[in-house]
Structure 1
């Protein structure tokens, strides 16, 4: 006879009774899809974009593609599968880098370049390679070999991320790595050769862009994101109190490239005032604005080249409309050593001088004019332009005009503002898309 298990006998004394539930909780909703996260090198205070050109490149590409994501700062490249920033964490948890990010965006929201022909796609690849090869090398050289940039920006940027003395070690280690990379591609690092390659690349890009908003067609491509990244970093970061950096100056010479490293939906082209009637009318507007402004002047100065017809038409209009015989002059790009000689044509610069220009985008022409005026023993008393773009300058919340006013302590007067141009477009009608594009742009860059 089998012996009954005492534990089972004990359990039988207390049978399990199932009672109906007194409360049934509602079903737990499915976890919402996570927003993709783009991990980027830290950005400058109050800036949207990273301080690293590769990160800005992918930030721009995702923005152009309307890919829904958020960004998160990260200064540890080892967190990335490739050991380099940026990297993307998708909604399903995948970690992607480089071209993997591009393919993910294509699969999710579509291909930016699907509308292009095969030939145009090949051109996009060729120009992208050109920009990444030449501009990247020149940018690295400027950041790590230009003593002013290196000491005033590059080293402090990296050293701010780590505690002392680790910050000193890491910044010098990174410099050694960048140097080894450059020397692996060039046996000798010659500044003139590197900058000349960058200038040629910029000229090729400028020629390809022409008067278009984007390099190929009516929408951005990956090339637009790449060029935006390099121009933005070069223009916003390569700035020192010691003077202009050669690479930055090379970019600023190409007015049709994305001004101030951003994609603007409009471009002011004073070259279209190309008939006698149009120029005469423009001169009348300049004269009226100058009279209303009460800017003090002894001489009017038009910086070469666009300023030459502007200041000439203004001087004629002042005499015709107001009976004022105003002295005016302009400069040559290169000095003559024969004839009248020198670089100034027209009235000698003396006393108070008002500079006449079409628009202030980066302020380069004004800075050059200031140097010329001071060199002649005169003083800048004001600036008169045709259009106030009313947008933030590079690396600041001030507009380019406000920067000039603050830097030189003189007023800047414009004939019209962008707001007035938009108001006029609304009145005439038929420009709804252009108006919308300007408004979207101004939400980010307007003042």
Structure 2
């Protein structure tokens, strides 16, 4: 369809100009860099449970010269979730890809550094326990965002990604008053059950660690 002559005259006063693309100044990392959520502390440890877990994993595996980056928004990460590990070759790894990269860097270790296969299996069982009960309790203990933060998030043109675990922070709907007439919305979590399982897991881990100089004989 042809544009009417009147519109052509108007558009001629506003010619279309295309700007060249901005030059990329980013250089591939010379050292592995872990993208994490920041913390209010100056010790470099993340305030996020998952990011802190992977920081500890890299440290316990003996990796050196791992840089930390805290200025990356989750929207810029794989699957919109931190942490990510930026490694040589300009590769970006999600959390589940970090162990394979560590094994590649350190070489295949028999029983992952444990003294026996039984110790390795027991360690995996403890890790599963910690990632279940303890991880859930730490997520639940995080303070929900304030009203100001919620309003700013709603008005922001770039909303942040909310991980599924954030649903654990939903509060219990009161059973009295006018709100009791409304059906509950969202996920309802038994806080007492989570705290009880957390305490039992920590007590069991404490009892196990008290008998070893090194955790499960790992060096």
Q: TM-score range by the shorter chain?
A: 0.5 to 0.7
Measured after TM superposition, the shift of residue 109 of structure 1 is: 2.0
Q: Which has the higher contact order (CA 8 A, sep 6+)?
A: 2
Hey, what does 2:195 align to over in structure 1? 195
Instruction: Check whether the contact 1:34–1:92 (CA below 8 A) recurs between aligned residues.
Output: no
Q: Which one of 89, 93, 98 corresponds to residue 96 of structure 1? A: 93
Gaps of 5+ in 2: 1-26, 171-186
Alignment partner of 1:55 is 2:42: no
Instruction: Check whether the contact 2:29–2:90 (CA below 8 A) recurs between aligned residues.
Output: no
Under a length normalisation based on structure 1, what TM-score does the superposition of the two structures give? Answer: 0.34
Pairing of 1:40-439 with structure 2 (within 5 A): 40-67=36-63, 68-110=65-107, 111=109, 113-143=112-142, 150=143, 154-155=144-145, 159=149, 165-166=152-153, 174=162, 178-179=166-167, 188-219=188-219
Measured after TM superposition, the shift of residue 48 of structure 1 is: 1.7
Shift of the 99–177 alpha-carbon distance from structure 1 to 2, 3 Å rule, reads: closer
- Supply the distance in 1 between the matched residues of 2:154 and 2:112 (Cα, whole angstroms): 42
Hey, what does 1:410 align to over in structure 2? none
Under a length normalisation based on structure 2, what TM-score does the superposition of the two structures give? Answer: 0.65
SS of 1:122's equivalent?
helix
Measured after TM superposition, the shift of residue 75 of structure 1 is: 4.9
- Supply the distance in 1 between the matched residues of 2:135 and 2:118 (Cα, whole angstroms): 25
- Supply the distance in 1 between the matched residues of 2:41 and 2:168 (Cα, whole angstroms): 31
Measured after TM superposition, the shift of residue 199 of structure 1 is: 1.1
Shift of the 96–203 alpha-carbon distance from structure 1 to 2, 3 Å rule, reads: same
Instruction: Check whether the contact 2:44–2:68 (CA below 8 A) recurs between aligned residues.
Output: no
Whichever of the two has the greater Rg, that structure is: 1
| Larger strand proportion of the pair | 1
C-alpha RMSD of matched pairs (Å) = 3.5
Hey, what does 2:181 align to over in structure 1? none
1:318-353: CA deviations, max 9, x gaps? xxxxxxxxxxxxxxxxxxxxxxxxxxxxxxxxxxxx
1:345-387: CA deviations, max 9, x gaps? xxxxxxxxxxxxxxxxxxxxxxxxxxxxxxxxxxxxxxxxxxx
- Supply the distance in 2 between the matched residues of 1:72 and 1:108 (Cα, whole angstroms): 21
Gaps of 5+ in 1: 1-30, 144-149, 220-447
- Supply the distance in 1 between the matched residues of 2:71 and 2:197 (Cα, whole angstroms): 32
